[in-house]
């Protein structure tokens, strides 16, 4: 078993990890569509109820004998970080406009969570793993829906790309391979939904550009 979660993630990935390679911005993710609607009131509730999470507690059913827990803790300690550092805040309940958003993706099976990152919170560079869905990784897609416009001090790195988003933007990224990180060095929360699920014909239509605007 690896003593470093970061090194383990790099080993599973087919990413080049050449941080000096010059690439066009957006190379490491794909913008698919933009949701249009007004969910400001509902989002205020989410901001107030989101629960702080650390690397150790971030999963819905994370537990002390998780196979990668010690490797994650090792990385934090070796970096001189507090293992109790809050990385973001989560809400797992979805109803109303939020459920409608998820349904629009047409995924056959999903797990999703709000990721609310308050000022001073950060999630170190990593490559995603998928513990809760026993599917072929090639059939499992992961998306972000941004719930407010990008604000100064909000950072989301995908590979060598740094994203600036608009409210409602839906992006996909190659989760088993693309290293990514996020941080909030601004003054307002950064709010998004992460959705993971099995692809369907409707999801494939999103990739083909048949839906650019999704009205709620």
Q: What is the DSSP string of 62-88?
A: --TT-TTHHHHHHHHHHTT--TT---E
Report residue 104 CA to chain centroid gap.
18
pLDDT surpasses 90 at 193: yes
What pLDDT is recorded for position 135?
A: 61
Give residue 153's region: left, alpha or beta (phi > 0; psi -120 to 50): left
- Dump pLDDT digits (tens) for 10-27: 999 999 999 988 777 668
What pLDDT is recorded for position 60?
A: 54
- Go through the domains of the chain in sequence order and give each one's CATH number: 30-55+85-215 (2.60.120.10)
Average pLDDT over residues 198-206: 88
CA atoms within 13 A on the CB side of 107: 19
State the angle between helix axes of 69-78 and 5-12 in degrees (0 to 180), rounded to the nearest 10.
Answer: 110
- CA nearest neighbour of 101 among 164, 38, 145, 166: 145
- Dump pLDDT digits (tens) for 23-63: 776 688 999 999 999 999 999 999 999 999 999 888 755 55
CA 35 vs CA 49, 98, 189, 210, 213: distances in Å? 23, 11, 20, 14, 6
Q: How many CB atoms lie within 10 A of CB 170?
A: 24
pLDDT surpasses 90 at 92: yes
Between 10 and 211, residue with greater pLDDT = 10
- Dump pLDDT digits (tens) for 128-141: 986 555 566 678 89
pLDDT surpasses 80 at 209: no
CA angle 65/76/15 to nearest 5° reads 90
**pLDDT band, very low/low/confident/very high, at 1 (cuts 50, 70, 90):** low
What pLDDT is recorded for position 103?
A: 93
């Amino acid at each position: 078993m690896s003593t470093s979660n970061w090194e383990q993630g790099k080993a599973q990935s087919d990413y080049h990890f050449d941080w000096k390679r010059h690439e066009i911005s957006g190379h490491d993710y794909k913008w698919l569509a933009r949701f249009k609607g007004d969910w400001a009131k509902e989002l205020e509730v989410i901001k107030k109820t989101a629960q702080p999470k650390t690397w150790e507690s971030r999963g819905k059913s994370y537990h002390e004998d998780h196979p990668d827990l010690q490797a994650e803790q090792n990385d934090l300690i070796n970096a001189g970080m507090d293992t109790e550092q809050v990385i973001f805040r989560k809400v797992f309940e979805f109803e109303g406009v939020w459920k409608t958003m998820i349904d629009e993706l047409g995924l056959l099976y999903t797990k999703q969570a709000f990721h609310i990152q308050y000022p001073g919170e950060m999630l170190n560079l990593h490559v995603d793993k998928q513990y809760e869905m026993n599917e072929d990784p090639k059939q499992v897609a992961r998306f972000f829906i941004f719930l407010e416009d990008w604000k100064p001090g909000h950072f989301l790195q995908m590979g060598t790309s740094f994203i600036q988003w608009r409210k409602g933007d839906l992006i996909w990224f190659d989760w088993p391979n693309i290293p990514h990180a996020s941080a909030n060095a601004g003054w307002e929360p950064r709010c998004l939904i992460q959705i993971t699920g099995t692809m369907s014909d409707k999801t494939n239509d999103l990739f083909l550009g048949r839906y650019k605007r999704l009205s709620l």
